[in-house]
Amino acid sequence: MSQKVFKTAIALGSNLGNTQANLETALEILDQTPGVRVETHSSWYQTKAVGPPQPDYLNGCAILQVTITPQDLLNTLLTIENKLGRVRTERWGARTLDLDLLLYEQLILNQPDLQIPHPRMYERAFVLVPLAEIAGNWREPLQGRLIQNLLQEVDNSDVHL
């Protein structure tokens, strides 16, 4: 009997070290993780950092096919961040790798350590631009709106290929 496969979306970002290598290594590790398959990923976009003064980010999104729970996927993302040198010192500080779980099918989840859809994805061009590239027709579950339509409501002038 086959397991149910869930379509998920994640955001990836890096602004320390070899940023493109950090992002691509994270995708390779994810694709080798039991219960996770990387279906596709967006182009990489250079974006201005949010928060304290720091280098620009390289950001992108990926669509995953998973058979693991949202909590297990979150734990996997956190483990990969740590493996690639993520150190949490200040909120929105510079980092080698940031992996955020954005969407998990049409699930709406609100737990202290995990909210799906990601609560700030709606206001972040650095998430919506790459997500629209690979999943523009995905309807987010809270308002039932297409990702490509959400993108039209944010200023994406600081997001560049």
Alpha helices in the chain (DSSP H): 19-31, 70-83, 125-135, 147-151
| Catalytically annotated residue among 72, 100, 145, 158 | 100
Residues 6+ apart with CB under 8 A from 121: 11, 100, 102, 127, 128, 131
pLDDT at 140 over 80: yes
- pLDDT (tens digit per residue) in 3-35: 899 999 999 999 999 999 999 999 999 999 999
- pLDDT (tens digit per residue) in 73-119: 999 999 999 999 877 666 666 789 999 999 999 999 999 999 999 99
Q: How crowded is the C-beta side of 55, counted as CA atoms within 13 Å? A: 14
Given this model, what pLDDT does residue 51 score? 79
**Is 158 labeled as catalytic in the residue annotation?**
no
Structure token pair of residue 36? 């996770």
**Is 95 labeled as catalytic in the residue annotation?**
yes
**Is 98 labeled as catalytic in the residue annotation?**
yes
| Catalytically annotated residue among 56, 72, 86, 145 | 86
Given this model, what pLDDT does residue 31 score? 97
CB atoms within 10 A of CB 132: 22
Class of domain 6-160: alpha beta
pLDDT at 65 over 80: yes
Structure token pair of residue 47? 């974006």
Q: Cβ distance 67 to 39 under 8 Å? A: no
Kindly state the DSSP code that residue 125 receives in the 8-state scheme: H
Given this model, what pLDDT does residue 100 score? 96
**Is 145 labeled as catalytic in the residue annotation?**
no
Residue 88 or 52, more confident: 52
